[in-house]
A and B are shown apart, each in its own frame.
Chain A
Amino acid sequence: MVEKTPVFAIQDFSIYYGDFMAVKTVNLNIESNKITAIIGPSGCGKSTLLRSLNRMNDLILSSRVEGQVLFRGVDIYQKDTDVIELRKRVGMVFQKPNPFPSSVYENVSYGPKIRGIKKKTQLDEIIEHALTRADLWKEVKDKLHESGMSLSGGQMQRLCIARSLAQEPEVLLFDEPTSALDPISTANIEHLLQELQKTVTIIIVTHNMQQAARISAYTAFMYLGELIEFGDTNTIFVNPYNKLTEEYITGRFG
């Protein structure tokens, strides 16, 4: 189905928390410059799978993995992986907007500064570019030195997106990015994601099936740690192949 060389090739990949197998032998390819949505009921392993793509699950001590996740052909779980570099190339935006408790400017410049960029003109440029890409520049250009926490929820989320974009990632992982936002802010973020996919590959975990239907090109449905069905979004929502998928998306689950 996905014909181009995938950005991620997830192969026979399992994730354990202690003895609990949270993700079960998943095989999935992620296509470049497309939005792929992962849907499924709570506890199905979708966030765990998402977090494994930039090794955020390493932070959970009892977790371990089997199988492979090839990012542009290289297994990110091999021993010599530079995890910091991986997370720069594969950024993440979370459910609740979590700006640093500092100014808008410092939020976005944090990553570039860590990378060693010190020249103010260069930083200014990066910040304007990142905020513009996150569709926030017009709203904050006159309050760059005010606290990021003083923005509205939707603006804070776009600030977090700008903070990720300042690292020039190739992939952005979104874990329920709009579940804490009102419908208008949600629509703004959805519009933004559709723009961003031209330059960044996007994987989004969402509880909101309509959101997956609206914005994604491909949808993966997970249940009890298994990838039940993966296909183009239109097929999944109009004529799914698997009975479980059908039951879930028509709201007749369990």
Chain B
Amino acid sequence: MGIFDDELKALREMILKLGCMVENAVRDSVKALVDRDSELAKEVIRRDHLINALDVKIDEECVRLIALRQPMARDLRLITTAMKITTDLERMGDLAGNIAERAIELNAEPQLKSFKNIPKMAEITQQMVRDSLDAFVTGCSRLPYEVIKRDDEVDDLTVRNFEELLSLMIQDPKIIPLAVKRTYIAKYLERIADHATNIAEMIIYMCKGKMIRHTEISEEK
């Protein structure tokens, strides 16, 4: 069983590495937007293929472990969780790339005012991503529940951001092309937070063997 334990450890490490890459991509894409740094944005887009490659590698490793080791119980839950959360992580990477693309477009135009919602959303979202990965490492704790709870804050900010931009657009229709891009970015961040929530839900499954997705019991002990 020593070999299998080593393999599971290596699988965990690969997921953490993927998580780290995605965290960096999200952080840098937001930084590229806030600092108007298009070079950094291009860097995020360039690095995305590394995330994709690791996602594929992890999936292949999971299938190999299922076929050759026939995992049961907590091992089975770890591997199924790994397969699902890598998909979430990979999507987060794509969304970071989308933020970077919009950042490049926005950086070519004059700065819009009322910028505060996006950095606030980005901050919460990044914390959710970090916490969901920490929860994967530490296993059973309150952390995944905290992540799930914070998703509502991000959803609220997305709505508020849209309403504020909408009133700006009504006042000055010339800014519509830029404002629409800004709403896209908020939507991307909101989607990233959703993926972090998915990860947190799968961590709860990994720990407790109970699927809480699409239920109202995410606040249960």
Interface residues, chain A, with chain B CB atoms under 8 Å away: 209-210, 213, 237-240, 245-246, 249-252
Contacts and interface: CB of A to CB of B under 8 A. Distances in A.
Given A210-B70, A237-B73, A251-B72, 12 more contacts: A213-B72, A237-B72, A238-B76, A238-B209, A239-B73, A239-B208, A240-B73, A245-B73, A249-B72, A249-B73, A250-B71, A250-B75
Contacts of A250: 71-75
Interface residues of B, number: 13
Nearest to A246: B73
B77 A239 contact: yes
A252 B209 contact: no
Interface of B: 1, 4, 70-77, 208-210
A87 B209 CA distance: 41
Contacts of A238: 72-73, 76-77, 209
A252 B72 contact: no
A90 B136 CA distance: 50
A140 B197 CA distance: 60
A209 B76 CA distance: 14
Task: Indicate the member of B4, B73, B75 with the most A CB atoms within 10 Å.
Answer: B73
Nearest to B71: A250
Nearest to A252: B1
Contacts, number: 31
B1 A251 contact: yes
Contacts of A246: 73-74
A209 B168 CA distance: 65
Contacts of A245: 73
Nearest to A241: B209
Nearest to A210: B70
Closest 9 CB pairs of A and B: A239-B209, A249-B72, A246-B73, A251-B1, A250-B73, A237-B72, A250-B75, A250-B72, A249-B73
A245 B209 CA distance: 15
Nearest to B209: A239
A237 B75 CA distance: 10
Contacts of B74: 246, 250
8 contacts: A237-B73, A238-B77, A238-B209, A239-B77, A240-B73, A246-B74, A250-B71, A251-B1
B73 A251 contact: no
A251 B68 CA distance: 14
Given A209-B72, A237-B73, A251 B209 contact: no
Nearest to B69: A251
Task: Indicate the member of A213, A238, A240 with the most B CB atoms within 10 Å.
Answer: A238
Contacts of B77: 238-239
B151 to A, nearest CB: 25
A239 B204 CA distance: 13
Contacts of B73: 237-240, 245-246, 249-250
B137 to A, nearest CB: 20
Nearest to A249: B72
Contacts of B208: 239
Contacts of A210: 70
A246 B77 CA distance: 12
A210 B75 CA distance: 15
